[in-house]
Amino acid sequence: MMTGAPVHAAARPGRPVVIEAAVLDERQYQRICELVRRRARIELGNAKRQLCQTRLLRRLKALGIPTFKQYLALLDDPHAEEHDELINAITTNVTAFFREDHHFEFLAQHVLPERMAANPDHRLRVWSAGCSSGEEPWSIAMVVREAVPEGWNTRILATDIDTHVLARAEAGVYKEEQVEPVSLARRKRFLHRGSGANAGKVRVGAELRPLVTFKELNLFEPWPMKGPFDVVFCRNVIIYFDVENKVRLLRHFHDVLAPGGTLVLGHSESLVAGVTGFTPCGRTAYRRDRG
State the pairing for strand pair 278-282/285-288. antiparallel
Spot the catalytic one: 160, 235, 287, 288.
160
Query: What helix, strand, coil percent values describe the chain, rounded to 5?
Result: 40, 20, 40
* Tens of pLDDT, residues 212-241: 999 999 999 999 998 899 999 999 999 889
Spot the catalytic one: 39, 55, 155, 168.
55
What pLDDT does residue 145 have? 98
Domain spans, the chain:
26-90, 101-288
Task: Note the helical H segments in 77-162.
Answer: 82-90, 101-106, 112-118, 135-147
76 is catalytic: no
| 101-288 belongs to CATH 3.40.50.150 | yes
What pLDDT does residue 21 have? 56
| pLDDT higher than 90, residue 158 | yes
Tell me the angle at which helices 82-90 and 26-40 cross, rounded to the nearest 10 degrees.
Answer: 100
* Tens of pLDDT, residues 38-66: 888 888 888 788 888 988 998 898 899 88
What pLDDT does residue 246 have? 95
55 is catalytic: yes
| pLDDT higher than 90, residue 252 | yes
Band (pLDDT 50/70/90 cuts) for residue 22 is low
What is the CATH code of the structural domain delimited by 26-90?
Answer: 1.10.155.10
* Tens of pLDDT, residues 27-38: 999 999 999 888
